[in-house]
Structure 1
Amino acid sequence: MTWEEELFGFLDDLEHQAGALFEADRDLEVADRSRTEYQQVSLASRLQASLDDEVGLDVVGVGVLRGRLERVCESWCLLRTASGQEWLVPLPALTAVDGAADRSVPEVAWSPLTRLGLGSALRRLGDAGERCLVHRRDGGRHEGVPARVGADFLELVEGEGVRSRVRLVAFAAIAAVQSP
């Protein structure tokens, strides 16, 4: 082997080592970028990817609700249990989710209807005249028909006839709304 062959062999070896170091550095950079980008993923976007799936929602003041995730919006979701009950759950009342999809759906891919707030969903219940059970985060409950919905509260008519009364329930206090 000539000195030229030895030199080229040595340079080839150095080039392979530099390439391996570059690959290792690039892999670390990609992993770091992935972690950084993942911080942009919201709970709602993970739930969007779980639409029509069976999930378990751990809700403050209520416990674990299991059923099919029927709708997800920016601030709330709708779950239908096996018995057919619907649960309207504000996302801030969730403490854990079991069975969610591994992926997420970016907000740009969401329907414009997902921008509807909690008030819109509560208005739908009121328009239907549905009696519901409002579960509070502190464990308390109120049964009645949603009458009007303000910017940050629900007007709930409890009781019937002359015994009825109106109770204002702050959105921030609502853990879930159960309808039959």
Structure 2
Amino acid sequence: MTLHLAKEYINVMEILVSEEVEKQLKKCPTTMLPYIRKTDLETYALNRLPCLYASSQEGLERQTYIGRKKYRSQVKIAVMQAIAAVQRDPIRKSTPLLSPEELEYQNILIQALESIPNHSHLRQTVVRALRQAVAAENSSRETTANRSISVTKNDSITVSRTASRSSKHSPKHAWTAQTYLS
């Protein structure tokens, strides 16, 4: 799968859905908010709505007008359905996609580590340094998302990002995105 970092077009429906999600989340009970990821709501709703692509300012204005006029009620219903779906299963396992920056970071790590022979002292030193760097970054974060690096017996390396949801009413639940290097 290829991610395009710079797009020359936009799906206006994404904007409309994001606005509606924000609006409806303000009405949600605060006890539910720790269990709701905006991304889950937006993708759930977008998968039930038509696309409205634009590649110019005029197209953006036109598609926004069409979206607000023709699809307003459908957007509202799709977001309500998304919230209901998330509320039915608030602690499900979910593996977030890596951001373009994290993918680039990961690719650089893969290239660097692939150039170092397995079971070598240098590889162990690099992995140790990476672990220290990730630990330092995690300790400076204000979010509950953390990265980790682990090495298996056969020298394959796992780079992972874990985020957790917890509240005073429920135990901690986590999801992890992982990449394996060997």
**TM-score exceeds 0.5:** no
What TM bracket, shorter-length normalisation? under 0.3
TM-score, normalised via structure 2 length? 0.22
Larger radius of gyration: 1
- Answer 1 or 2: which has greater strand percent: 1
TM-score, normalised via structure 1 length? 0.22
